[in-house]
Amino acid sequence: MEEIMTPSEVADLLKIHLKTVYKLAEKGVIPGNRIGRSWRFSRSDVLELVSSRQMEAGEQVNGHGDSMGTGAIETRSTAVK
């Protein structure tokens, strides 16, 4: 079964401020799901995001990344009522 994380747990895992987690989730940068007024995140999705961003940064340093640095990371942000 997949581990579901709270925003606080994501902040601890990524070593970022809790408010930053909420801002990034709202923008769709961190993949997550909104359930009512609460956000929940899949641990594997968050870790995949981090590893893909690290690979992207390495490609850009080696001159193989896209010129705008946008990458091709697919994110999702779903509101559930």
pLDDT tens-digit series, residues 26-61: 999 999 999 999 999 999 999 999 998 877 777 766
Task: Kindly state the average pLDDT of the residues 55-71.
Answer: 56
Q: Name the one residue in this structure whose structure tokens are 């870790």.
A: 47
Q: Which residues pair with 77 in a beta bridge?
A: 32
Residue-level pLDDT at 54: 77
Domains in the chain: ranges and CATH = 4-64+75-80 (1.10.1660)
Report the candidate in 75, 32, 34 with the shortest Cα–Cα distance to residue 53: 75
Report d(CA 75, CA 25) in Å as an integer: 10
**pTM of the predicted model, to two decimals?**
0.68
pLDDT category of residue 73 using cuts at 50, 70 and 90:
very low
Integer angstrom CA distances of residue 7 from 45, 58, 63, 71: 13, 27, 34, 24
User: What's the pLDDT at 8?
Assistant: 98
Would you say 25 and 32 are in contact if contact means Cβ atoms under 8 Å apart? yes
Work out the mean pLDDT of the chain and round it to a whole number.
81
